[in-house]
Structure 1
Amino acid sequence: MASEETVIMEELQALQRKLGKKQSFEEAVSSISNLLRERYCSASPSLRKSIYAAVCRVATILQTRYTATGFWLAGLKLFKEAEKLVTDSMEKDHLKKCIARAHEHLNDIENEVPSSERRPESRYLFEGHLTVEPEPAPPAWLVAQNLLTTLAVAQDWTTNAESSQVRDGTDNRIENIRVADVPETVRELMNNLQEINGFLDLDNVIEASLQEIGAGPHRAPPASKEVVARLPVINLTEEVIARLGTETECAVCRENLVLNDKMQELPCKHLFHPPCLKPWLV
């Protein structure tokens, strides 16, 4: 029995890889649905978790990559089947959210503005694929981090441009940077900062990031891609989820964390799925 379930788990892993390709997405969803109906009720707790994780992966792929009506209808059918079978209250609530998002997406398609009246939309790469959705707004914490990088560069620029310097009574060096000395791009960024949505926690994010680079000489922090590459990957076990809290979510896609998710954590304590962050790395 154990060896049979191991084979099924390996099959689920292979099906999740197929979800990333348009030509095999619907076939993979159908196979996951068959395993759900035929195996879930008699499965061990670990196999149930694997089946549930595959269903959640379908939801994540749909929300980040695909808009085709057929794909979302297949996903909606799967979510409804899973919601009827799962017994865990948290899993059931999450699947209800997936069902609501699918209904919302399909309703938006029905009420979609004709392409002739639609404004041009930017597309971006996600896991090596060009999306069909507009590029989403970057997370607030990431924009804040990039702002700090830009300001650090501006500080070096003004120092090299012979910005004025004074000393106080205790001989501590104070740098006085004139507004006119700051590059136009930095001034524009700071002036327009309030126009960016979702910055309610900007002050906290900047403060946390400053603490990470606080002491020592002022210099531009390393590029986001290099920083993220060095962050450890966290496998979400039941113990980790219990420690983080059941309402903890990915800072990018805003999905609640589920068992066996792979996550990374920034110094400012924001958690995210590595694939979700890739479009924003510099």
Structure 2
Amino acid sequence: MESEDLLKQELEELQKQLGKKQKFESAVSSLKSLLPQTYPSASPSLRKSFYSVICRVATVLKTRYTAPGFWNAGLGLFEQALLLVSEPSEKAHLKACIANAKEHLHLEDNPSQALQPAENQANRGYLFEGHLTVDTEPPQPQWLVQSNLLATAATLFAAESSRGSAANDTTPEDAANVLEDLMNRLEEVVPLMVDEGDFVAPKAPPASKEVVAKLPVVTLTEEILANIGKDAECAICRENLVVNDKMQELPCKHTFHPPCLKPWLDEHNSCPICRYELQTDDHAYESWKEREKEAEEERKGAANAVRGGEYMYV
């Protein structure tokens, strides 16, 4: 037990060294030496300490260091740890760390050569108002995919109900294919219905890159950490915050590690804590938001008018 306490102290010291650029690689090297020697026979508590320090290596790499030497050291540690840990969640996180390191070092597998012709074809532009564009065709927004699928399904249903399939060049196979497509993409493109019979809000597109780039970045100091509490963490990666961590601040004043925040905003475009939503580059979606805002104000006005009328007759 005493030896494990000493190992935990050593791990704590190594974690502190990770924040010093000149000691980072030596600290990672020490971790790589300790892992195979002590991890297999370590207690669950000591294993958690090892995993915590390894996670700290990943966070420091994402938030501070860009040099290939640092990332190579981290990659070797992640790959070694992956062979030793047994918890599924820890394995999944380490695989993500390995993938991130390989991407940073440009070690990811090259796309299949068989896909190249298709990619070249996709980059040839598309017809817009009779002219071939230079840029590739943008992906269709979800509302348009939904609209096209539902319109096609409605046409097929009408043709089937009137027994006019042959006249409309529509076969039962066509109907079956569209229905299968609708079922497969039900959760993706067909919004759930609310009690009033209206559609819920469509999923927000990724946040505008320009807006995200302008978000302020602050460096944590001892004073800031003291104000937010010693157990404060990034709400996305769940890593405890330490002095000199760089944090990006949303307009709602909540802060997160920049490498954690960008992919989150690409996927969800909302603050993980308060759901504040950033502006997007999707004009159709922004127009929808404006219409919804106006409609909500009208609904509130109508509700207030009804309540006012009720009070008049009480």
Q: TM-score, normalised by structure 2?
A: 0.40
Q: TM-score, normalised by structure 1?
A: 0.45
Q: Which has the greater radius of gyration?
A: 2
